[in-house]
Amino acid sequence: MNTTKTRRNLSVHGLLMLAAALLGAVSAQGAQVGLDVAMGSDSVLANAKQTAYLRVAMTGHEFRDTSARVPVNVAIVLDKSGSMSGEKLAKAKDAAIMVIERLRPDDIVSVVAYDSVVTVLVPATKASDQAGIFAAIRSVWAGNNTALFAGVSKGAAEIRKFLERGRVNRIILLSDGLANEGPSSPGELAELGASLIKEGVSVTTIGLGLDYNEDLMAALARKSDGNHMFVEKPEDLASAFGREFGNVMSVVAGNVNVAVTCEPGVRPVRALGREVSVAGQNVHAVLNQLYGGQTKYILLEVELEPGTVGTRTPVATVELSYLDMATKTTESLRGAVAVTATDSQALVTAGENREVMEAIVYQISAERNELAMRLRDEGKIEEGKRVLKENLKYLESNGAIDTSWYRDNGSVLLEMDQGGAEWGKIRKNMIKGQYQIKQQSAP
Amino acid sequence: MKVRLTVVLTLIVALPLVGLGWLGTRVARNERVVVEQRFNALVLDRLRDVDAGIATYLAQRERDLFSLPALSGQTVDQLRAMARESATVRQFFVLSNRNELRYPVSLELVREYASLRNGLDPVPAPSLQQPPSPDEAESRELSITPLTAEETAFLERTHAIWAGKRIPTNDSGESRHVNISTQFKGWYAWYWGDGLNLIFWWRDWRGAVVGAELNPVRLAADIIGALPDSNPESATLADGRISLIDSKGATIYQWGALEPTQDVPPVASLPLRAPLSAWHLQYHAAPNPAGTALGGGVVFNIVSGIVVLGLALMALAVYYHRESSREMREAAQRVSFVNQVSHELKTPLTSIRMYAEMLDGELDGNDEKARRHVGVIVSESQRLSRLIGNVLTFSRKQRSTLKLHRAPGSVDGVIRSVLGHFEPALAAKGIRCAFDADAAQVALFDQDSLEQILGNLLGNVEKYAASGDRVEIHSRQGDGMVSITVADNGPGIPPRERNRVFMPFYRISNRLTDGVTGAGIGLAIARDLARLHGGDLTLEPAEKGACFRVVIHAPVAGTNGEQT
């Protein structure tokens, strides 16, 4: 995001902008990761319960040695159901071959193809024997059903053969259809994803065409902290795979654990965007990795007890631990944040942290976008439109007019009446957009 | 004759083949049953191996859980962290020494327990500040704190277990209770939501019963990961299809090259061992695996056996057929040769006979010796004429040009004339002739044919019945038919030869035919002629010797429309 733009736009209530944006926030800097803990505003109104937002932002720093990268352990899981036959499967094979060509000999790769049954085409192996791998990939032809769950399970089993925290462990799942064999609900796939991330395995899901279940694919990716992509045309598969491998190869930190401990009198309400687990005053979140040059954050909504004017109250402490992929050591960073109670709304506004406010705006607009989609799913088109209009106004009032996210919301509003495949395509784009905002994943 | 031979030969070839084929089919069927049983046993063994693999996976989970630090000694935060970090466990729990849930526990649940106790043993509802019942030594480590969403969901899922209700553990609604007081560890399976959930519980070293609820989705994923994939070389029975089926009949996972059709039932089915006994394994075989894979050899052996035997039998039949038809052909060639020669001989023989008979008449009565010599010439030339006549008749019959020339005449006259010709020769062999004539009326018949019939019969007497001393001839006339019997008292004809004597070129035996010449067609021609005459020639039963009976249609001349 562009700093000038945010400076220009983020005057939430159109009031004064003062300096000291980071006042009261604590930043910490590790070798590979920067931690920034900040509140939406440094000040809150006193003498009343207040809802406030706390952002824990983690930025991955690119390796100094630009040629260095973390060894990867990738399982490519390809759909070879009947609907993939022809160009789709051919392009998918080409894309897989293209990205495997970029691997180094010490990387691990496995290739799994599934229809109603699963075939491990390339059991997990060093990427050195490329000719053999390519021959196995080229031998695939399309079959019957879509045992997606089994495909991912087998991919995970291959990953597990060389599972180590010092590698980027990634399943790249391609599917163009509905899972119809084995566990097939978004909830079940989400649970699988949630289980895999505990081992340090992420699943990136690439939905191809207009027939896949975007809820399922997004849920699997979200719970395992992978990426989710929507590829409408087979010819775009190569670039999608390429982007994903770019992501995989830019990982600088793994096993990122964030523990937020709220001070007494601060009640964690919920998280916006990325999911967290809340237990009492403790909030915990896991990110499987941080990419070089990217910032990921956890955004918490907290409820503050009434404060007295002029007192500065600690809100939370943050402990971040991660595995430095360059040194293979576990590093930890600490941060803390506090707010000052005031009786002046102007001071509250003046104390706003623009980056945090921007994150809040985007997360809330993503939630509204999702709400509009759910309403449309239930057939409540007009209500959905109303939510989208409000969302557009909300974005406008916060100065996000130029962004693609604003344009996406606008075009969805125009096409809410569409049905069938057209709506399916819009919906897939909506899910993708929501995913990118919620997970802060690269487009 | 020829048709019958062909039929017989065909049967000789076909019957053993049919028999062997039937036996072979039975053997093949039995073999197939045996092979199928063996195959099914193999399949079941394989399914048991798969089951054992799954059980190994669960045993590994047991070991993992045993290796954890004693759960009853952990704080709530530690237990939460353990569940959060475990990929396979969804929730841990700890029971008190009264087998009541101590973690995770909600205030409502504690109050519910208290009310269930019905005041007998009142337990004060614990508060957040105050740790419950100090009499439990380990209870200090666990205190009631607000539940996380995961813990709440766990209590909701397992509420019926802790409330002591009976829980259906499989589809048939059976229920069971785990006896935690006597057992050391165990699995507990129950249904919640979409399917089977598993709890493993054990006594940790502090004596408390603790447990872990496995993540069912992860369980399925791990089992899938442990099972073979569909690479042809990675699994036995890879040409079939093995499926893991859950309690609702849905396929969790399957592998193998075969794509089974919906309505074909599986060859074998095996429920998994506890605690996953609600799931089962199915095996679908490729169509007729026994026939193609294992029984094929037997079928091939049987078919090739039948083919080889059939070829051998056919070769034998062909050989036999060729041999028999060669004999027939040779005989026919003989007749054909004799036939040609006969035509050439007929004219000179007629001249010889005529001149010999003239000479006989011209000789004066004193020259006995010359008269005897002429008599021999006449009788031998008559015999030769008969032979030639038979041959010519036979060949005419072969060409279907045999025709009758009926003319009015006396049957007795013809008999006397023939006897007249034979008497000298018969007398020379010591055979007397007795003729009982009773067919004197003039009738319409072919004199030449009748002469030929009688000549052949008497010729046989002369040839074969020389050991006898007389021949009796009877003639009868009536109803337009004439019947003549010729009976000798020679050696006769054995009963089994009675039909065959009428076959052309048939000779009874070497014993009888030793030193006897002839073509072997006399009786056949005689019968053919008799049948052509609307009658028959039959061999009558007789006490001694042979008795032939000739019947011919010979209507009395002049009666009612009999002029032909």
Mean pLDDT of A274-290: 90
Whether the upstream peptide bond of residue B104 has omega within 30° of 0, thus cis, is yes
Q: What ipTM, to 2 d.p.? A: 0.85
**B316: distance to nearest CA of chain A, Å?**
57
DSSP B84-119: HH-SSEEEEEEE-TTS-EEES--HHHHHHHHHHTTT
Closest CA to A115 of A136, A88, A85, A95: A85
Task: Express as a percent the part of chain A with pLDDT over 70.
Answer: 93
**A160: distance to nearest CA of chain B, Å?**
10
Residue of chain B with shortest Cα separation from A200: B87
The most confident of A62-71, A141-150, A327-336, B304-313, by mean pLDDT? A327-336
A154 contacts chain B (CB < 8 A)? yes
Tell me what pLDDT residue B301 has.
Answer: 77
Q: Kindly determine whether residue B217 and residue A277, on different chains, have CB atoms separated by under 8 Å.
A: no
Residue B395 and residue B338: Cα distance in Å, rounded?
10
Both tokens assigned to A412: 């969805």
Tell me what pLDDT residue A51 has.
Answer: 92
With beta carbons under 8 A apart, name residues in chain B contacting A280: 145-146
Q: Kindly determine whether residue A182 and residue B222, on different chains, have CB atoms separated by under 8 Å.
A: no
At residue B239, what is the residue type?
A: D
Tell me what pLDDT residue A92 has.
Answer: 93
Tell me what pLDDT residue B109 has.
Answer: 61
With beta carbons under 8 A apart, name residues in chain A contacting B217: 183, 188, 191-192, 195
Q: CB–CB of B244/B252 below 8 Å?
A: yes
Residue of chain A with shortest Cα separation from B222: A153
A181 contacts chain B (CB < 8 A)? yes
With beta carbons under 8 A apart, name residues in chain B contacting A258: none
Residue A133 and residue A101: Cα distance in Å, rounded?
10
Instruction: Determine which of A154, A185, A224 to mutate to test the interface with B (most B C-beta atoms within 10 Å).
Output: A154
Residue of chain B with shortest Cα separation from A199: B87
Residue A311 and residue A46: Cα distance in Å, rounded?
9
Residue of chain B with shortest Cα separation from A196: B87
B231 contacts chain A (CB < 8 A)? yes
B153 contacts chain A (CB < 8 A)? no
B86 contacts chain A (CB < 8 A)? yes
Measured CA to CA in angstroms, residue B146 lies from A269, A278, B77, B106, B152 at distances of 14, 10, 11, 8, 9
* Residue range A45-78, pLDDT digits in tens: 988 898 999 999 999 988 877 777 889 999 999 9
Three-state DSSP string of chain A? CCHHHHHHHCCCCCCCCCCCCCCCEEEEECCCEEEEEEECECEEECCCCEEEEEEEEEEECCCCCCCCCCCEEEEEEEECCHHHCCHHHHHHHHHHHHHHHCCCCCCEEEEEEECCCEEEEEEEEECCCHHHHHHHHHCCCCCCCCCHHHHHHHHHHHHHHCCCCCCEEEEEEEECCCCCCCCCCHHHHHHHHHHHHCCCEEEEEEEECCCCCHHHHHHHHHHHCCCEEEECCHHHHHHHHHHHHHHHHCEEEEEEEEEEEECCCEEEEEEECCCCEEECCEEEEEEEEEEECCEEEEEEEEEECCCCCCCEEEEEEEEEEEEECCCCEEEEEEEEEEEEEECCHHHHHHCECHHHHHHHHHHHHHHHHHHHHHHHHCCCHHHHHHHHHHHHHHHHHCCCCCCHHHHHHHHHHHCCCCCHHHHHHHHHHHHHHHHHHHHCCCC
Closest CA to A183 of B453, B369, B251, B548: B251
Measured CA to CA in angstroms, residue A242 lies from A78, A253, A294, A367 at distances of 15, 21, 18, 29
Residue of chain A with shortest Cα separation from B256: A117
Residue B250 and residue B70: Cα distance in Å, rounded?
38
**B57: distance to nearest CA of chain A, Å?**
13
Please report, in angstroms and rounded to a whole number, the separation of the first and last CA atoms in chain A. Answer: 13
Of A117, A195, A198, the CB nearest to B230: A117
Both tokens assigned to B415: 């008999």
> Is the pLDDT reported for residue A132 higher than 60?
yes
Residue of chain B with shortest Cα separation from A140: B231
**B218: distance to nearest CA of chain A, Å?**
6
A147 contacts chain B (CB < 8 A)? yes
CA dihedral sign, ordered A8, A12, A16, A19: negative
Out of A75-84, A101-110, A172-181, B493-502, which region has the weakest mean confidence (pLDDT)? B493-502
Out of A64-68, A124-128, A261-265, A350-354, which region has the weakest mean confidence (pLDDT)? A64-68
Tell me the pTM: 0.69
**B111: distance to nearest CA of chain A, Å?**
21
Q: How many residues are present in chain A?
A: 443
Tell me what pLDDT residue B325 has.
Answer: 83
A270 contacts chain B (CB < 8 A)? no
Q: Name residues whose C-beta falls within 8 Å of residue A137's C-beta, 6 or more positions apart in sequence.
A: A93, A96, A97, A100, A111, A121, A122
Tokens 């000052």 belong to: A340
At residue A210, what is the residue type?
A: L
Residue B224 and residue B222: Cα distance in Å, rounded?
5
Tell me what pLDDT residue B244 has.
Answer: 93
In A192-251, the residues whose Cβ lies within 8 Å of chain B are 192, 195-196, 198-199
B233 contacts chain A (CB < 8 A)? no
Please report, in angstroms and rounded to a whole number, the separation of the first and last CA atoms in chain B. Answer: 34
Tell me what pLDDT residue A8 has.
Answer: 40
DSSP B6-19: HHHHHHHHHHHHHH
Instruction: Determine which of B106, B217, B234, B246 to mutate to test the interface with A (most A C-beta atoms within 10 Å).
Output: B217
Looking at every residue in chain A, the average pLDDT score rounds to 88
> Is the pLDDT reported for residue A18 higher than 60?
no
Tell me what pLDDT residue B519 has.
Answer: 57
A160 contacts chain B (CB < 8 A)? yes
Residue of chain A with shortest Cα separation from B241: A117
What kind and span of H or E run contains B40? Answer: helix B2-66
With beta carbons under 8 A apart, name residues in chain B contacting A160: 225
Q: Kindly determine whether residue A154 and residue B225, on different chains, have CB atoms separated by under 8 Å.
A: yes
In A87-126, the residues whose Cβ lies within 8 Å of chain B are 112, 116-120
Mean pLDDT of A349-365: 91
Instruction: Determine which of B77, B103, B230 to mutate to test the interface with A (most A C-beta atoms within 10 Å).
Output: B230
Of B220, B222, B229, the CB nearest to A183: B220
Residue B376 and residue B189: Cα distance in Å, rounded?
124
With beta carbons under 8 A apart, name residues in chain A contacting B237: none
**B253: distance to nearest CA of chain A, Å?**
6
Tokens 């025709």 belong to: B403
* Residue range A222-254, pLDDT digits in tens: 999 999 999 999 999 999 999 999 999 999 999
Give me Rg for the CA atoms of chain A.
23
Of B146, B230, B253, the CB nearest to A182: B253
Residues of chain B with pLDDT under 50: 118-142, 168-174, 289-294, 510, 512-515, 560-564
Q: Order of strands, edge to edge, in the sheet holding B481-488?
A: B432-436, B470-478, B481-488, B547-553, B536-540
Residue of chain A with shortest Cα separation from B242: A117
With beta carbons under 8 A apart, name residues in chain B contacting A152: 221
Residue A441 and residue B18: Cα distance in Å, rounded?
79
At residue A123, what is the residue type?
A: P
